[in-house]
Amino acid sequence: MVLPPGGGARAPSMVDVAEQARVSHQTVSRVLNTPDAVRPATREKVERAMRELGYRRNATARALKTRRTGLIGVITPGHSAFGPNRMTLAVEEAAREHGFATALSVVRDSRPETVESSLEFFLDHGVDGIVVLAPIIAVAEAARQIAETRSVVLVASGAEPTASLDVVGIDQVRGAREAVRHLLDAGRRRIAHAAGPGEWYDARGRVQGWQETLSAAGVAEGPLLHCAGWTADDGYAAGAELAPQVASGVVDAVFAANDYIALGMMHAFADHGLSVPEDVAVVGFDDVDGAAHLSPPLTTVRQPFEAVGRAAIAELFGAGGGEHTTLIAPTLIRRATA
């Protein structure tokens, strides 16, 4: 299937409609933009002509004159990670409710050039605003500079807003606090944390929440493991590393930075003959699909991704005007692992 025939039948324009309705093209324009300024009889004539010709208003010409394309650019990370996808879809739906279309640009790595090239791409295409899904610090930093010249909303849990840039995110620290508090309430006192990659805002926020909660409760910090990524493989490695300390009673609970890490850890624990939650309690983060059906069903923290997507658009259209952070609270989901 090839792209537009080029020499296909030209779509009808306002002038065509005007001729058909025996009015001027300006009247046609008015019917579209300020219908009340047109006499009902004339309006109906024009509307009938539009229907007969199958007229469709040309967004390109409109954009040229109004200096607005009606396009919102969304920069989204390339990992199959879970959150960004859902936020992207939520952003699209929210934007469409405002009559805006959403253009996508995937950023596979976090090099500044990559982000900048996506930004350039959007600027070339004349987007009216940009939403940057920036879970990684370097991505967010690369996005900052562009905020001087364009409306940008940064979706990053923990980034600082600036004068020309609003930030929307999920309160990672709070989610981590609830997770750790839940472990404390269950009587656990030797609580480890398997952290995500340090260049991620989410990972940092969860470490911070873990530390704060333990410190506030006067409980010593358990071991802090650093995972190289967010996958179950990384979790398995961390679990294997932690297993001896669980076996010897030095650790009786783990707060995992996400559900896949939790899953991998539980796998490693099982391989070491350790049982969850008897030997070690586990709390994850995300509430991925199927988390309720793991064995045992995973206690975790659910993130309201859809709400973030909507909030990002609201911020973009709102009268916020920068220097402002919207933080949305996640929810602890209690199941069987803790």
Cα–Cα distance for residue pair 320/327, rounded to 1 Å: 14
Cα–Cα distance for residue pair 128/64, rounded to 1 Å: 13
- Of 19-27, 88-96, 131-139, 230-238, the window that binds DNA (rule: CB under 7 A) is 19-27
Confirm or reject binding of residue 86 to DNA (CB under 7 A): no
- Name which of 33 and 275 has its Cβ closer to DNA: 33
- Of 18-26, 201-209, 274-282, 289-297, the window that binds DNA (rule: CB under 7 A) is 18-26
Cα–Cα distance for residue pair 93/190, rounded to 1 Å: 44
> Which of positions 244-263 make contact with a second copy (CB under 8 A)?
259-260, 263
Confirm or reject binding of residue 13 to DNA (CB under 7 A): yes
> Which of positions 174-233 make contact with a second copy (CB under 8 A)?
231-233
Q: Contact with a second copy (CB under 8 A): which of 67, 218, 248, 278? A: 67
Strands 281-283 and 191-195: unpaired
Contacted by 150, from DNA, a second copy, none: CB < 5 to 8 Å by type: a second copy
Confirm or reject binding of residue 264 to a second copy (CB under 8 A): yes
Listed as own residue / partner, the contacts of 230-234 with beta carbons closer than 8 Å and 24 or more positions apart are 230/79, 230/81, 230/196, 230/197, 230/257, 230/258, 230/260, 230/261, 231/260, 231/261, 231/264, 232/260, 232/261, 232/263, 232/264, 232/267, 233/264, 234/260, 234/261, 234/264
- Of 56-64, 103-111, 279-287, 319-327, the window that binds DNA (rule: CB under 7 A) is 56-64
Q: Find the length of the chain.
A: 338
Confirm or reject binding of residue 274 to a second copy (CB under 8 A): no
Cα–Cα distance for residue pair 278/211, rounded to 1 Å: 24
Confirm or reject binding of residue 184 to DNA (CB under 7 A): no
> Which of positions 284-303 make contact with a second copy (CB under 8 A)?
288-290, 292-295, 297
Q: Where are the beta strands (DSSP E) in the chain?
A: 71-77, 101-107, 129-133, 151-155, 165-170, 191-195, 224-226, 253-256, 281-283, 300-302, 325-328, 331-333
Contacted by 204, from a second copy, DNA, none: CB < 5 to 8 Å by type: none
Instruction: Tell me the closest approach of the beta carbon of residue 121 to DNA, in angstroms.
Output: 16
Please tell me the number of Cα atoms within 13 Å of 290 on its side-chain side.
7
Confirm or reject binding of residue 267 to a second copy (CB under 8 A): yes
Q: Contact with DNA (CB under 7 A): which of 20, 27, 114, 157? A: 27
Q: Contact with a second copy (CB under 8 A): which of 318, 329, 331, 334? A: 318
Which residues contact DNA (rule: CB under 7 A)? Answer: 10-11, 13-15, 18, 22-27, 29-30, 32-33, 36-39, 41-43, 55, 57-58, 61-62, 64-67
